[in-house]
Amino acid sequence: MSHEELVEIVSNHPFTVREMAKQSEDLQRLRETPTLTAEFLQWLRTSSENGGKSLLDLS
């Protein structure tokens, strides 16, 4: 398997797609937030919580 094929597989994997979507959401919220308030920072810290599951949805 070539490097390009491996990059394509990883880039299209559901875990990668979900992580990139979350990162995009976080970056968009940061761009739209003029001031980093305690409330916003709390949201940012906790917005990735997944009910006690790991990133891969495993317990």
Return the number of other C-beta atoms located less than 10 Å from residue 18's C-beta.
13
What is the residue range of 30's domain?
Answer: 3-44
pTM, full prediction: 0.70
- Categorize the per-residue pLDDT at 55 as very low, low, confident or very high, splitting at 50, 70 and 90: low
Task: Kindly report, residue by residue over 7-19, the tens digit of the pLDDT.
Answer: 999 999 998 998 8
Q: Could you give the CA distance from residue 7 to residue 5 in angstroms, rounded to a whole number?
A: 5
59 or 23, greater pLDDT: 23
Q: How many domains does the chain have?
A: 1
Q: What contacts 33, CB < 8 A, 6 or more positions away?
A: 40
Interatomic CA distance for residues 29 and 1, integer angstroms = 38
In a domain, 51, yes or no: no
- Domain presence at residue 58: no
In this prediction, residue 32 carries a pLDDT of 95
Whether 59 is in a domain gets the answer no
The residue written with tokens 């875990």 in the block is 15
Task: Decide if 13 is inside a domain.
Answer: yes
List all residues 6 or more positions away from 48 whose beta carbon is below 8 Å from its beta carbon: 22
Residue-level pLDDT at 48: 80
Domain membership of residue 55 (yes or no) is no
Query: pLDDT grade, residue 37 (50/70/90)?
Result: very high
